[in-house]
Chains A and B, each alone.
Chain A
């Protein structure tokens, strides 16, 4: 894999991002109500003053001109100001990114720790009772509505047992590790649930493919134990296709974060998105959508690069 390939992939992302920005800009333009609506209903703001404000922000220009004004501002890091809080959009997003990364990171870690052993065992004991159980559970996992699971956990652990706080980031006046762990436990469990299901299936099928190959038979013929073959020879190659799911499930995690953070009042970007929806905070929504799209595109590129560097048979020109 060459540096040239990486550069080409990154350049290829530019038209993609331009396309996304045009679509998002059009949606916001077509939406009823604009940034001047709150002044328009105020009787003490004269029509002349209104026109002046519109001219100052370029809102009297035709949409294509407005788009280019917005685009060039965005490229220089000026993402506008939140209508709700008045603070810069970019700063606000970066501030709320931390809790989401904590939550998403923990959820990914949990998913890996559970999904990898589950997938391996289920492939090594193909057709066994355990294997069919894992298959059914993973089907159930991808079919469970995230928000319902969240409600059930709240019902069990907060309402019935009273072990965990039902929502929030940390107790007031307490920010200890243990306290924060109690708050993050349920949202992380909910967020990892669907990924455990899809990852274990992915790892299982990767493992099944590898276990049927000749070099595995050779390893057995050499006299290696099953444990050794599976853990040493097979696992490394079986994990290669699994890296692609990182890209696919990045989307799941973003979407899941919107729901999970809303139910558990977790102060990340998912909840920021819902707050901005309720407040019709267009600049913030635009910024968040662009941020999410950049995330998905980067995740795809990273997955392709990882795939190529792990599997020497794959060469991207």
Chain B
């Protein structure tokens, strides 16, 4: 027993920061690394793609209007029924879908962290009110509620992002609350309080950095949910409206031509699947890296 622990003990004396250990553990998670590489490539494609593409996302080739056309030299993934280049629209749609996913997740994480932090730190009636509110929002079926809001108010894209973010914060709030409930009793918080730190400083300067692991994991998974929610919404015709493409509304228009032009329906779905899968793998890798369980 002693022989095996000794080298480990020596290794541990080498100064290695928390973050370098996190990175080392993350790199051991093969699927997470693959996922991260995939997301990086996808990110580069949607940023650079529209710049190098010879077409605009709403450019119509008048020779090809009327019917979707198949792959060709000039249109690698064919064109849709309005003669627009499918690859250009796919890449541009990815730009919109990824942006909505990221922004929605940021809103959800900020909101969830704020509500969870207040709830767990102040406890008492603040906690009771905020948690009952969380329960209420959690008890309304999410997709129908988003559909209702976007169908009745026809929001602009930024407002749509806000709606998506406002409906997926609840998990994060509960998580942050439980972290705060546990951390607020620790000695370092008491020490900071004894030194005269106020509520906001205690919460965001002392407690929050210690809860950053679970919050990062939740934020990553929220990107996946936000992309999924937006594409479902756009697929049903209540999200981002054409001619602006997103992966969801590309599938919506492709579904009408499924029997004639199945090649239009495959790529957008595949993009959603691979992106969300990659996000989930990265989330899983971060969980293993930032919250090691022995």
Contacts and interface: CB of A to CB of B under 8 A. Distances in A.
Contact of A142 (B141, B143, B259, B280): B280
B144 A259 contact: no
A148 B272 contact: yes
Closest 5 CB pairs of A and B: A148-B269, A255-B143, A31-B152, A19-B136, A143-B277
Interface stretch (B40-48, B56-64, B197-205, B227-235): B227-235
Interface in B127-144: 132-133, 135-144
Given A31-B153, A277-B238, A255 B142 contact: yes
A302 to B, nearest CB: 14
A145 B269 contact: yes
Nearest to B259: A159
Interface string A1-38: 00000000000000110011001100110111000000
B116 interface: no
A291 B224 CA distance: 28
Contact of A19 (B133, B143, B231): B133
Contacts of A255: 141-144, 232
9 contacts: A20-B139, A23-B136, A27-B152, A31-B152, A145-B273, A155-B258, A159-B259, A259-B235, A274-B147
Interface stretch (A47-55, A59-67, A292-300): A292-300
Nearest to A22: B136
A147 B251 contact: yes
B262 interface: yes
A151 B236 contact: no
Given A143-B224, A259-B236, A277-B147, A289 B140 contact: yes
Given A143-B277, A145-B228, A251 B269 contact: no
B141 A293 contact: yes
Contact of A16 (B135, B235, B279, B280): B135
B178 interface: no
Chain A contact residues, majority secondary structure:
helix
Which of B132, B254, B255, B281 has most chain A Cβ within 10 Å?
B255
Contact of B251 (A20, A151, A155, A273): A151
A266 to B, nearest CB: 15
A152 B136 contact: no
Interface of B: 31, 132-133, 135-145, 147-149, 151-153, 224, 228, 231-232, 235-236, 238, 251, 254-255, 258-259, 262, 265-266, 268-269, 272-273, 276-277, 279-281, 284
A69 B228 CA distance: 38
B294 to A, nearest CB: 14
Given A31-B152, A277-B147, 9 more contacts: A23-B136, A147-B236, A148-B265, A149-B269, A152-B265, A273-B144, A277-B151, A292-B141, A296-B141
A262 B276 CA distance: 23
A23 B140 contact: yes
Interface in A210-244: none
Chain B contact residues, majority secondary structure:
helix
B280 A289 contact: no
A27 B153 CA distance: 9
Contacts of A259: 143, 232, 235-236
A155 B141 contact: no
Contacts of B132: 15-16, 19
Contacts of A159: 258-259, 262
A144 interface: yes
B147 to A, nearest CB: 6
A115 interface: no
A83 interface: no
Which of B144, B235, B258, B284 has most chain A Cβ within 10 Å?
B144
Contact of A148 (B31, B152, B273): B273
Contact of B142 (A23, A251, A285): A251
B78 to A, nearest CB: 16
B150 to A, nearest CB: 10
Given A27-B152, A31-B153, A143-B224, A254 B144 contact: yes
Nearest to A277: B151
Nearest to A282: B152
Given A159-B258, A259-B236, A145 B272 contact: yes
B31 A262 contact: no
Interface in A266-317: 273-274, 277, 280, 285, 288-289, 292-293, 295-297, 300
